[in-house]
Amino acid sequence: MTTQVVVVGSGYAGAGTVKAFENEIGEGEAELTWIAEHDYHLVLHEVHRAIRNPAVESKITIPVEEIKSDDTDFLQGRVVGVDTDDRVVETDDGTTVEYDYLLLGVGSTTAFFGIDGLEENAHQLKGLDDAKAIHDDVRAAAGEATQSDPVRVLIGGAGLSGIQTAGEIAEYRDKHRAPIDISLVEGMDEIFPGKDPEVQGALRKRLEEADVEILTGDFISEADEEAVYLGGGEAEAERLPYDVLIWTGGITGQPEVADVDVEKDERSNRVYAESDFTTSDDRVFAIGDASLIDQGDDDVAPPTAQAAWQAAEIAGENLARAARGAPLQSWRYENKGTVISVGEEAVAHDVMGMPIATFGGTPAKLLKKAIATRWIAKVSSTGRGLSAFGDM
């Protein structure tokens, strides 16, 4: 029987792997089944745009039919179980698919770190529906607010998602002259934690110019229906009332991965993978946010679209190599720089080939657009990529 390859997930990891595998595999060498919860690829690193303008949906969702070749079977469903002994994947409607090689590209979900009341009261931002729900809530609340009693939008967590979310809501506020106060709360001492002070400073400046209040140095310890509490217990904690609460403070693995018999980080369920993407089970590969890919020196690849995109190119080739019994290639993440939007503005940092480390203005804005356009063109078509340019 022909070797059966199964790829799970339609994010950067899954979609990119499918493309790379199709390019590499020869006729009759293997059959590919692609399983994902949605029948489209979501350009997640631009999903914050849909908070300002939900109509951007058509630009950031790409039907799988436009991505895969006719030879690849697509099965829509959420994978709920993987039996690594019998090598079978099961989806939520009970469908089972056998595999010889499996790639887990299921991404991540929001980590609430057990903070009391947070999950129940906060929006998260891990998909299109989340972005639309935030839009609806901000819009509805702004409709009832006045300049003297504005809507209080509070965003917890100032990484890529939180910063870009704050930027979009500020842009929405300005475009619609809506009475909205925006606060971005970060527990660490600076926004975009762990990154270069120059880019942190540039982002802070853009956010402050966009009239976003930045609160750093105190963690959210609790939330209820009306407020979050910073610092210690409720009695001594600082109370920050909100009307709309958004939590973008961390990621963790998908719950379904907990029962898959591969080595993983016990707390997060993110799967340990070697630099060739094999896991403790050599029939199971993992990349993207779902994984912790060894980079040597106790380091792992970052949970970014950039890393998932790079890894997928080699992972697709490695699945084809595994199918034909050839040696696998190693991968090492290459940081090509970061470009972060703050509404219509953007800040670029450490971008390969650029003489200046951190910059904004038109060059950064164009770069941000070009990155999304290039990815969309790569997985679908140049026309689709170009049509998204204006909205990114």
Ligand X SMILES: Cc1cc2nc3c(=O)[nH]c(=O)nc-3n(C[C@H](O)[C@H](O)[C@H](O)COP(=O)(O)OP(=O)(O)OC[C@H]3O[C@@H](n4cnc5c(N)ncnc54)[C@H](O)[C@@H]3O)c2cc1C
What number of chain residues touch ligand X (CB under 6 A)?
Answer: 36
Check binding of 171 to ligand X (CB under 6 A).
no
288 binds ligand X (CB under 6 A): yes
Distance CA 371, CA 176 (A): 28
Residue 314 near ligand X by CB under 6 A: no
Instruction: Pick the binder of ligand X from 25, 122, 125, 323 (CB under 6 A).
Output: 125
Phi, psi (rounded to 5 degrees) for 293: -90, 125
Nearest to 103 by CA among 327, 309, 301, 287: 287
Query: Please, what is the minimum distance in Å from the beta carbon of residue 6 to ligand X?
Result: 11
Could you say whether residue 7 binds ligand X (CB under 6 A)?
no
- Among residues 43 and 240, whose Cβ is nearest to ligand X? 43
Binding mask 220-259 for ligand X (x = CB under 6 A): ----------------------------------x-x---
Identity of the residue, 95 or 329, whose beta carbon is nearer to ligand X in the bound complex: 95
Q: Supply angle C-alpha 347, 248, 105, rounded to 5.
A: 90
Closest approach of ligand X to the CB of residue 122, in Å: 14
Residue 239 half-sphere exposure toward CB, CA atoms < 13 A = 8
Among positions 5, 44, 97, 158, the unique one binding ligand X when judged by CB under 6 A: 44
If one asks whether residue 110 binds ligand X (CB under 6 A), the answer comes out as no
Provide the CB-side half-sphere exposure for 37 (13 A, CA): 14
168 near ligand X, rule: CB under 6 A: no
User: Quick check: 52 binds ligand X (CB under 6 A)?
Assistant: no
- Asked if 278 touches ligand X (CB under 6 A), the answer is no
Distance CA 346, CA 365 (A): 5
**Contact yes or no for 13/290 (Cβ under 8 A):** yes
The residue (of 25 and 379) whose beta carbon lies closer to ligand X is 379
Residue 170 interacts with ligand X (CB under 6 A): yes or no: no
Told to check if 310 binds ligand X by CB under 6 A, we report no
171: amino acid identity, one letter: E
**33 touches ligand X by CB under 6 A:** no
Please provide residue 50's backbone torsions phi and psi, each rounded to the nearest 5 degrees: -70, -10
Q: Cβ closer to ligand X: 229 or 264?
A: 264
- Shortest Å, Cβ 273 to ligand X: 12
**Residue whose entry in the numeric block shows the structure tokens 């999903």:** 47
Q: Which is nearer to ligand X, 158 or 305 (CB)?
A: 305
**Residue choice 31, 38, 150, 337 for contact with ligand X (CB under 6 A):** 38
Q: Can residue 345 be called a binding residue for ligand X (CB under 6 A)? A: no
Query: How many other C-beta atoms lie within 10 A of the C-beta of residue 45?
Result: 26
Token pair listed for 342 = 């703050």
Residues in the chain: 392
Q: How many angstroms separate the CA atoms of 43 and 67, rounded?
A: 13
Identified binder of ligand X from the candidate list 25, 82, 106, 364, rule CB under 6 A: 106
- Does the protein bind ligand X through residue 10 (CB under 6 A)? yes
Which of 18, 20, 47, 170 is in the footprint of ligand X by CB under 6 A? 47
- Out of 5, 6, 7, 9, the residue judged to bind ligand X by CB under 6 A: 9
Segment contacting ligand X by CB under 6 A, of 11-19, 166-174, 195-203, 314-322: 11-19
Nearest-approach distance from CB 316 to ligand X, in angstroms: 13
Cα–Cα distance, 208 to 214 (Å, whole number)? 8
207 near ligand X (CB under 6 A) = no
Give the footprint of ligand X on this chain (CB under 6 A): 8-14, 35-38, 44-45, 47-48, 78-79, 105-107, 125-126, 160-161, 164, 254, 256, 288-290, 303-306, 308, 340
